[in-house]
Structures are given as C-alpha cells and as structure tokens.
C-alpha cells in the first residue's frame, strides 16, 4: 500500500466526502487516517491558519513593500534614511488605517534584514543616483 502525505490524504478524504454520501465524516477520518477537525474545516471551506494574517500585521503588503523600496532606493543613493523617518512614514500609513502606531523595535526588526541585504550586495558603495557625483 503506498504511503501518502498528509495533504494528499486530506484531498482524498474530501473527494470521498463529496462522492460517497453513505459514509460519515468520522468513518472517512478513520479510513483515510486524517484528523476530524482538519477534514471538517476543509469541508466547510474554513481558511487554514497559514493564510490568515496575524492580528498585529496592520500594513498591507503593498504598503510595506513601498516603504522597503523607498529605504533601498535611498540606501543605493548613499542617503540611508534614519529609523525615525521610516517610522514616521509607517505610522502615517497606520493612522490612515485607524490602527495604533508601531514601536521602534518592530520597525528595527522589519528593516534590519533589508538594509543588511543591500549593504551585502555592495549597492551602497556605488551611488547609482545621478547628480552630484564627484562634488
């Protein structure tokens, strides 16, 4: 008998629920070796936890990407922004969404990986923004 992954067993069980009206959910759970709650949640189309945003996640992906892109562009131009400037931008966006302002530690952890990645790639050494080179 082939062994199936958990996801494959859940999909097979869902197919059995939809095609065989005689079997109960509990019988299908025993037959396909899946958890009852998992099968029930999938059957009722409840979103899985992975797809649900955390309650503390208040900026949309586009807003966060815009802030990060702004920081990267300034870092490339050898004008890395101060943390409080980026925090002001994020707090402005959060005020527009009627959510409380973010704290400094959250902002530091959000930006830390992005600015280190820019420095590691050597983008801050070149100065790719035209204008006052050699002044």
Provide the sign of the torsion angle of the four alpha carbons 127, 129, 133, 135, taken in this order: negative
In sequence order, which residues have a C-beta less than 8 Å from that of residue 33 and are 6 or more positions away? 9
Give the residue among 57, 11, 51, 55 at the shortest CA–CA distance from 34.
Answer: 11
Provide the token pair at 85.
Answer: 């400037």
- Return the pLDDT at 58: 62
Higher pLDDT, 26 or 80: 26
pLDDT tens digits, one per residue of 104-133: 666 666 666 655 655 555 544 444 555 444
pLDDT tens digits, one per residue of 38-66: 999 888 888 777 766 666 566 677 777 88
């Amino acid at each position: 008998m082939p062994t199936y992954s958990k996801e494959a067993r859940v999909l097979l069980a869902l197919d059995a629920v939809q095609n065989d009206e005689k079997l109960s959910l509990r019988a299908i759970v025993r037959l396909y070796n899946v958890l009852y709650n998992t099968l029930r949640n999938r059957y009722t189309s409840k979103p899985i936890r992975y797809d649900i945003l955390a309650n503390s996640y208040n900026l949309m992906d586009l807003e966060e990407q815009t802030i990060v892109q702004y920081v990267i562009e300034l870092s490339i131009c050898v004008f890395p922004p101060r943390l409080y400037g980026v925090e002001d931008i994020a707090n402005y966006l959060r005020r527009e969404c009627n959510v409380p302002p973010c704290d400094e530690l959250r902002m530091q952890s959000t930006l830390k990986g992005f600015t280190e990645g820019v420095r590691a790639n050597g983008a801050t050494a070149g100065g790719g923004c035209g204008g006052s080179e050699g002044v």
